């Protein structure tokens, strides 16, 4: 069996690596190729590690790197045509992956085209779902409300639960939260950090003025990001911030409250019970275009799943230090407010399903391949 996987961001690389492990546990001898990151490449040497260039943010970065993406797109199409995989598994990254799926259909590829971690078209263009039904064989979604949306169009859809539940469960630590510890989680992309981290530091400085005992810690996604954050910190001497590398999950469990950049980290913070304010700033053009396209009331997935603004959102021109400091100060000072926040997030996390998402996704992929296969074509490993 040959599978061609495509992931374009760090989170997709993690999901792809989990999927590879689950598939190998179910069937021996699967060949993996495609595009991903260091985790996928470490498990399958034929996977191109392109995350450093692929993980762009916003339309401006896409335009700047258009030539690069065209070349990688052509490489992927050529490899799929040459290798003739049984299935192409597209992991999130919809801007690239949905175009690839359409191109494969146009080229008459015989491979099953499977999307794992469905694109959030319900947020910005639900009218694309019927087109997706024409170019995909299977949609594997991680949020419960997505399944009926896709199934209305006739697209076969499987809800497997959120894969983060497995990885985060392994990172739980024991012990009480540290009093007066503020967590700053500005994201993993350089462009995000440059826009969001200064605002976080300014809000933290305001909080320190009335709370001299407040300690501030941040988490950087890489050693390189530490250098950038330290440079930004030197321009904000009003607050001292200790920076750790890849310590976000541990910090989420130690801190009293936090400021979190919009993205996967907001669900992770909710899982670990960290009360937080959500921040987001992007290039002006990217934000304006995004606002016109997005059709949901909130940006943060925890708020979308809760159906209300549990975590206060401070977006673009509203991301000022003063109101952010007021909201985070409320969470720092009021134990009842923090417990109310956690209580509101519990059903949100419960809605994500049970652990074992990557195993269920692997089963769904194998079931799809076995559906029309001859007996014995794809024998599974003993489990």
- Cβ distance 365 to 160 under 8 Å? no
299 neighbors 260 (Cβ within 8 angstroms): no
Q: Is the pTM of this model over 0.85?
A: no
Helix (H) or strand (E) holding 321: helix 321-333
Q: Give the residue among 253, 202, 256, 196 at the shortest CA–CA distance from 220.
A: 196
Q: Kindly give the interhelix angle for 335-350 and 264-271, rounded to the nearest 10 degrees.
A: 110
Could you say which DSSP state residue 371 is in?
A: T
- Band the pLDDT of 285: cuts 50, 70, 90: very low
Instruction: Give the least confident one: 54-58, 61-65, 226-230, 232-236.
Output: 54-58
Task: Give the pLDDT confidence score for residue 122 in this predicted structure.
Answer: 63
E-strand spans in 78-155?
A: 87-91, 112-116, 138-141
Which fold, 2-163+356-370? Rossmann fold (3.40.50)
Q: Which of 52-56, 83-87, 240-244, 364-368 has the lowest mean pLDDT?
A: 52-56
Of the pLDDT bands very low, low, confident and very high (cuts 50, 70, 90), residue 288 is very low
- What's the pLDDT tens digit per position in 212-254? 999 999 999 889 899 999 999 999 998 999 999 999 999 999 9
Which residue intervals of the chain bear CATH 3.40.50.2000?
2-163+356-370, 181-350
Average pLDDT over the chain reads 90
Residue 297: per-residue pLDDT: 81
d(CA 270, CA 338): 12
Quote the tokens at residue 106: 């146009």
- Confidence tier at 8 by pLDDT (50, 70, 90): very high
Among 8-17, 49-58, 282-291, top mean pLDDT goes to: 8-17
The pLDDT, as a whole number, for residue 263 is 87
Nearest-angstrom CA–CA distance, 357 and 22: 10
CB burial string 198-216: b at 16+ within 10 A, e below = bbbbbbbbbbbeeeeebbb
Q: What is the mean pLDDT of residues 138-157?
A: 93
pLDDT of residue 289: 41
Q: Which tokens sit at 353? A: 């399903």
Res 175: pLDDT: 87
Structure tokens at 92: 């999130």
Check whether 284 has a pLDDT greater than 60.
no
Nearest-angstrom CA–CA distance, 381 and 379? 7
- Contact between 101 and 136 under an 8 Å Cβ cutoff? The reply is yes
Residue range 295-337, pLDDT digits in tens = 558 889 999 999 999 999 999 889 999 999 999 999 999 999 9
Evaluate whether the domain defined by 181-350 bears CATH number 3.40.640.10.
no
Q: Is the pLDDT of residue 287 over 70?
A: no
Tens of pLDDT, residues 76-95: 999 999 999 999 999 999 88
pLDDT band with cut points at 50, 70 and 90 for residue 381: low
pLDDT of 156 over the 50 cut: yes
């Amino acid at each position: 069996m040959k599978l061609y996987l495509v992931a374009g961001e760090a989170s997709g690389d993690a999901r792809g690596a989990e999927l590879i492990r689950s598939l190998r546990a179910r069937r021996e001898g699967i060949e993996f190729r495609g595009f991903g990151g260091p985790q996928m490449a470490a498990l399958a040497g034929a996977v191109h590690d392109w995350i450093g260039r692929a993980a762009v943010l916003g339309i401006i970065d896409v335009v700047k790197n258009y030539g690069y993406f065209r070349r990688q797109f052509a490489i992927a199409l050529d490899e799929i045509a040459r290798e003739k995989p049984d299935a192409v598994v597209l992991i999130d990254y919809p801007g690239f992956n949905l175009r690839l799926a359409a191109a494969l259909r146009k080229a008459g590829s015989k491979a099953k085209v499977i999307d794992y971690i469905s694109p959030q078209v319900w947020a910005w263009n639900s009218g694309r779902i019927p087109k997706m039904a024409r170019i995909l064989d299977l949609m594997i979604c991680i949020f419960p409300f997505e399944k009926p949306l896709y199934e209305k169009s006739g697209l076969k859809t499987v809800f497997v639960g959120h894969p983060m539940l497995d990885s985060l469960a392994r990172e739980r630590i024991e012990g009480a939260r540290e009093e007066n510890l503020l967590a700053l989680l500005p994201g993993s992309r350089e462009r995000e950090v440059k826009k969001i981290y200064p605002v976080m530091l300014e809000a933290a400085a305001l909080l320190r003025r009335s709370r001299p005992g407040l300690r501030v810690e941040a988490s950087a996604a890489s050693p390189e990001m530490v250098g950038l954050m330290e440079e930004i910190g030197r321009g904000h001497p009003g607050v001292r911030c200790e920076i750790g590398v890849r310590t976000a999950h541990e910090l989420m469990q130690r801190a009293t409250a936090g400021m979190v950049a919009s993205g996967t980290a907001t669900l992770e913070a909710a899982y670990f019970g960290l009360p937080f304010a959500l921040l987001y700033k992007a290039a002006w053009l990217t934000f304006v275009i995004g606002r016109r396209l997005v059709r949901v009331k909130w940006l943060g997935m925890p708020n979308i799943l809760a159906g209300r603004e549990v975590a206060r959102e401070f977006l673009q021109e509203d991301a000022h230090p003063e109101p952010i400091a007021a909201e985070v100060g409320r969470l720092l000072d009021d134990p009842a407010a923090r417990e109310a926040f956690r209580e509101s997030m519990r059903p949100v996390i419960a809605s994500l399903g049970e652990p074992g998402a990557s195993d269920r996704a692997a089963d769904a992929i194998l079931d799809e391949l076995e559906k029309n296969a001859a007996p014995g074509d794809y024998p599974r490993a003993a489990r």
